[in-house]
Amino acid sequence: MVKFTGDPLMIQIHVSGRLVRAPAQKTSANGNAYTTGLLLSASKDGEQLVSLSVFDPDLQTLLASLKKGDSVSVMGGASIRAYTDKEGAPQAVVSVMVNRIMAMTEGKAKPKLKVPGNGQPYQRTEDFMSAGPREFAPPFDDDLPPF
């Protein structure tokens, strides 16, 4: 029997890892849709399972599009609770109420070019590389003393 002790501690967290099972779409008791995931995050102290819950519809779509083994980075409110496992050993469970997701998949995303006020798209970084640094250095007219 798993026994929780004390109230959970709520903190903001940013954690990265890989999904250890495919995300699942569920419905809460009051009829709200949500998506869950299970992330394995590694550190110098070992690995930690992190339970993910997503309620935002756009983020649910993103998480649901991922599969087991995909790398992901999430941010959100986390609760860390202590419990005793079946063998009587103390354990911790980390649950994150996700409000940001960055999926790191193998597919290449096509970069979107921003359009300045004149309607022309900005050039890509590769186009700027050949121009040389002097053309992009802003003029400094302030009189700062030398170091």
Burial class (CB in 10 A: 0-12, 13-18, 19+), 66: buried
pTM: 0.62
Helix (H, G, I), strand (E, B) or coil at 145: coil
Quick one: pLDDT at residue 39?
93
Confidence at residue 19, expressed as pLDDT on a 0 to 100 scale: 95
Nearest to 53 by CA among 29, 81, 24: 24
Running along the chain, 147 residues long, what does each successive block of 10 average in pLDDT?
Answer: 55 93 93 93 87 93 92 92 86 90 68 55 47 44 58
Kindly state the tokens that stand for 102.
Answer: 């960055």
CA 56 vs CA 68, 90, 123: distances in Å:
21, 33, 34
In the chain, what are the domains? 3-104 (2.40.50.140)
Residue 48: the pLDDT is 87
pLDDT of residue 95: 93
Are 72 and 39 a contacting pair, CB within 8 Å?
yes
| Predicted pLDDT at 60 | 92
